Structures are given as C-alpha cells and as structure tokens.
Amino acid sequence: MSHLDLMPARSGAISRTLDADLLIRSALFVTVFLIAWISLHPFQSLADPPPAVAEGGDTANQIGYSALFIVLAAWTCFHEPRRLLLLFRPVLILTLLWSAVSVAASWEPSLAARRLAFALIFLSISAMVLLLPRNLRHFRDLMATVAIIVLVACYLGVVFAPQLAIHQPTDFLEPEHAGSWRGVFPHKNEAGATMVLLIFIGLFVARARRALLGAAIVVLATIFLLFTQSKNAIGMLPLVFLTSAVVGRSRSPVISVLLVVAVVAALNLFSVGTVLFEPIRKLVGSIMPDATFTGRTEIWELALQYIARRPLTGYGFSAFWGTPQVVYGIGENASWVNTASDAHNAYVNLALGIGLPGLALVIMWVVVLPIVDHSRWSRQRRERAPPLSTLFLRVCLYGAFASCFESAIFTPLGEVWFLYVTSAFGLCYLSRTAVIE
C-alpha cells in the first residue's frame, strides 16, 4: 500500500500545510470507519419490539452517508481523482449494469432503485477512503486507532451498560441469546464478525512494526469474540487462516482461485444444499445437533422456490425480503418465514435480488478477482506475503466464507461488507500499481 496516497515527505515552509492535511485525512478516515462499524445507532435496546421499517428508509443513515460521500468526493476532486479509475474494472461495471436491469424488472422498482443508489454511495465511500492514508505507516496507525476505539466502546458498554451491550432474557426477539456479548452492535453475530476483522487488523498492525499494539488488539478482540458466542465467526476464523496460508504460498493463481471457490461451494453445499439433496441433509444431520442451522433451512427452502420462478433478473436489487408480496405470502407459501429480514446467505440473497447472472458477476468481482489480484501483487515476493495484502486477503476470504451463513455482500449497512469491499478495492489497487509495501 505504498501509494494508496503516498506522497514523499516535504519540509520547511509547508510543514503547517502538511499537518493540516494529515489531520484532515486522519479525521475523515476514522469518521468513515466508525460510522460504518459503530453506526449512527449504537447500543440499541432490544427489550422493545423492533420499529417498523420506514418506507423511505432510515433518515439518519441517509443523511450521514450522503454527507460522507459529498465530503469525500470533494476531497478526492483535489487529490488525484484519476486514481479511482484503477478500480473500475469491466466486471464491476457489468455488475452494476445488471443490477440496474433487475431494478427495471423488479416488482418493487422504486424500492430497488433507492437501495441500488444507496449501494452506489456505499461503494464510492469504500473506494475513496483508500485514498486518504499517506503511506503504509499512516494506514497502520489509522486502522489501529479505529480498532482501539471500537474495542474500548464495546468493553465500556459491557461494564457500564450491560443491558445495552449484552443480550438479555428480556430481549423481544431471540431471548435465547441472553448472556452473549454484543457491544455497540445490535446482534452478537455482528459483534462476532467485527471482532474477527479486528483480529486480522491486529495481526496486520503487529506485522507492520507495532507488535505490542497489534498483540493487544488481537487479545482484546479474541476475548470479546469468545463472549459473543457467535458460532459462525468463531468457526470461520481458523478456516480463513488456513486458506490464506495456502493462497499466500501458492505459486499458481489458478490453484488459489479453485481452492477458494471450492471452499465457498462446499460451505453452500453443506448448508443450502441440505434443502436440495436428501443425502446431504442426512449427512449433516448425523454430524450436527441442529441440522436446520437455527431455522435457516426453512428460509432457504422458500428462497429457492422463488429463485426458480425468476432465475434471470430476480426480484430487484435488495427488493425481496420485507416486501408486501413476501410478507403476506403467495398462496400456500405463507408462513413465519415470509417475515424473515434476509436469507442468512448472501449468495441466495443475490440470486433473489439480481438473478443468477448477477450472482455470477458478483462472485467474479468479490470472490475470484481479489484472489487473482493478490497473486499478481505477491508473485515476486514468494518468501512471505506483505502485511497489507495479507490483511486484505484475509478480509476477502472471511467475507466470502461468512456469506454462506450470513448476508455479508451488498448489505445496506454491513460491518463486514464495508471492509470486505474496501479490501477488494485495495487488492485491485495494489495489483495495478508498481508500489512496494
């Protein structure tokens, strides 16, 4: 990452300008990450019924992210905006175009159009935030700052406001999660996923010559992760480490891509595949105490039925769950599953929203190409993958794997999705610039 905005140090008469420039870059970077991770609604009470989803969406989030986009766009206009062109690759353009087609074919076109517009703002912020750090050291210090702030906020919540930072028996939904830590997040699974990302960041900080600080981040995030009792996050962590180690040492990008795609396919086969294939269902049932994946199989069964009806365009970008057509059911399919907020599988969600062609494009963009970019970047450094590219690789792998059980791709406000797409952009940027970490 030695040129995600790497300017040589200047001296003398313009030192004050540099200090102001550094402050602006740092403040923008930290603000973006804290809003993306802590959100504008931290420490939500779960004791009351969840508020109904407003037709126009969350006003605070719309204003907040729109303001961030405007500020970052203004800053970027004066700091080599042509660098963003490196991130515009054909598969991304095709993905967005196909998403627009799904909007036109949607049964809720206005809803799909609004959500696609918000997704474009989100993607733009994820791309522009990469231009803020001056160099690898600056990026390291900024990520460490964000990680410490998030961890401190989470632990302070557990100590001083446990009713807002720990799941309670009085939670209106899912009181069975009582005792699981969630910190500033609305659910233990979101907290667990973020702690996994913080572990990756801590390891990056440690390798980038801040060993004690990095180790502290890893330890604090690991402890919090265990107390979230998030099985998905805890289970994916060793799988990501193992896969990233193999990919980092592989001399063949083809083998690396095949490995990652095989892992994603296997995870989907032994999850969503239990709905389609009886032998798989029996095998999983013989191994796991809960072969329904806490009720997910019923959701997947309904989702697959609808995918089969509109496999090409889907039902519109992020315009399936929560729509009247689904909530109130269609004929004999009406059940509690119709009120689900998502499919708990990003790939199923994508197929529902933008169809199978759109799903294939997204997989190429955020699953396959990041592996190719990492291989291209590290091809001449076979002894050990550099810290930054390793961080980006691990985040992309976790996002791809976790998406088999959670909706971690194109989520309107997703902690994992924000760093996932930022890491995909980062690997793309690194692979297209002749820079050295």
Residue 7 in any domain: the answer is no
pLDDT at residue 291, as a whole number: 65
Which of the residue ranges 118-127, 203-212, 371-380 would you say has the lowest mean pLDDT?
371-380
Confidence category of residue 54, pLDDT binned at 50, 70, 90: very low
Task: Give the number of other Cβ atoms within 10 Å of residue 163's Cβ.
Answer: 14
Region 142-159 average pLDDT: 97
List, for residues 183-224, the tens digit of each pLDDT value: 999 999 999 999 999 999 999 999 988 899 999 999 999 999
Residue 121 resides in a domain:
yes
Q: 347: closest CA among 288, 307, 397, 393?
A: 307
Q: Which ranges of 135-272 would DSSP assign to H, the alpha helix?
A: 136-160, 162-165, 188-207, 211-228, 231-249, 253-269
Q: Is 5 contained in some domain? A: no
**pLDDT of 14:** 47
For residue 6, tell me if it sits in a domain: no
Query: Would residue 360 count as lying in a domain?
Result: yes
Please check the confidence at residue 10 and state whether its pLDDT lies above 80: no
The answer to whether residue 437 is domain-embedded is no
pLDDT for residue 98? 97
Does this model's pTM top 0.85? yes
Note whether residue 68 is domain-resident. yes
Q: What is the DSSP letter of 47?
A: S
- pLDDT of 426 strictly over 90: yes
Query: Residue 9 above 70 pLDDT?
Result: no
At residue 357, the pLDDT reads 97
- Going by C-alpha positions, the residue among 190, 238, 208 that lies closest to residue 136 is 208
* 198: containing domain: 12-431
Q: What is the dihedral of CA 314, 320, 324, 329, to 10 degrees?
A: 80
Q: Is residue 372 part of a domain?
A: yes
Give me the mean pLDDT over the 400-420 stretch.
90
Which H helix or E strand runs over 418?
Answer: helix 415-431
Helix (H) or strand (E) holding 420: helix 415-431
Determine which of 43-52, 107-116, 133-142 has the lowest per-residue pLDDT on average. 43-52
Decide if pLDDT at 68 tops 90: yes
- On average, the pLDDT of the chain sits at 87
Residue-wise pLDDT tens digits, 301-353 = 989 999 999 999 999 999 998 888 888 765 555 566 777 888 889 999 999 99
Assess whether pLDDT exceeds 90 at residue 158: yes
More confident residue, 94 or 10: 94
Q: Is the pLDDT of residue 373 over 80?
A: yes
Within 8 A by CB and 6+ apart from 332, the residues are none
In 3D space, the residue among 24, 34, 272 whose CA is nearest the CA of residue 149 turns out to be 34
- Given a cut of 50, whether residue 383 has pLDDT beyond it is no
- Per-residue pLDDT tens digits for 69-88: 999 999 999 988 888 888 88
Does 31 score more than 70 pLDDT?
yes
Per residue in 248-287, pLDDT tens? Answer: 888 789 999 999 999 999 999 999 998 888 888 888 888 8
**d(C-alpha 64, C-alpha 33), whole Å:** 12
- Euclidean distance between CA atoms 227 and 421, whole angstroms: 27
Q: Is the pLDDT of residue 380 over 80?
A: no
Structural domain count of the chain = 1
